[in-house]
Homo-oligomer: A and B are copies of this chain.
Amino acid sequence: MSETPDGVFVGSDHDHGNCVSTALDSAAAVCQRRGVRLTPLRRQVLELVWQSHQPIGAYAVLDALQANRRDDAPDGRTSAVAPPTVYRALEFLLGQRLIHRIESLNAYIGCVHPGARHAALFLICNGCGSAAELESATLLTAIDNAAADAGFAIERVAVEVAGQCPDCQGAVDVA
């Protein structure tokens, strides 16, 4: 009776290269439209954030950036990438609504509605680390109503639900 049509969690089989290229293309379009610059660094960071459907920490991005530069350098000689470099790029991407920050993990994940102002619900698997971004009109209405009742003016909303995704529950069942 339970249905997971395509599943909000992507399978291990899906064409992830497509996820990445779509995200990069959308980001370029959004930035173009807004007259802001998706510089090579920012684009690289966005690509790294999209390297999987698992939220990635700033320092993991930093390490990956570093590795990329070593690969690109003619002889492997490169200066180290420093934290502010990464944090500034992440801040830019957050500001343009191209990524989300997962507060409970101090980590970042690509946004599936790039550029759109919206409040999302995240399902975060404690088993495999994957996260799925959902929208629920009912949920947002409930939050709006609760805030309105309290006379509270909403600025930002974070809804983060941790647990086990369908695959990881299956793995446990088998054991």
The chain A residues found within 8 Å of chain B, CB to CB, are 2-4, 7-9, 103-104, 121, 123, 125-126, 132, 134, 136, 138-139, 141-143, 145-166, 169
Contacts and interface: CB of A to CB of B under 8 A. Distances in A.
Q: Is the interface of A mostly helix, strand, loop or mixed?
A: mixed
A143 B154 contact: no
A139 B150 contact: no
B7 A150 contact: yes
Q: Which 10 pairs between the two chains have the least Cβ-Cβ distance? A: A139-B142, A151-B166, A155-B163, A138-B142, A103-B103, A103-B104, A153-B164, A154-B163, A156-B162, A8-B150
Contacts of A7: 150-151
A2 B156 contact: no
Contacts of A150: 4, 7-9, 123, 132, 134, 165-166
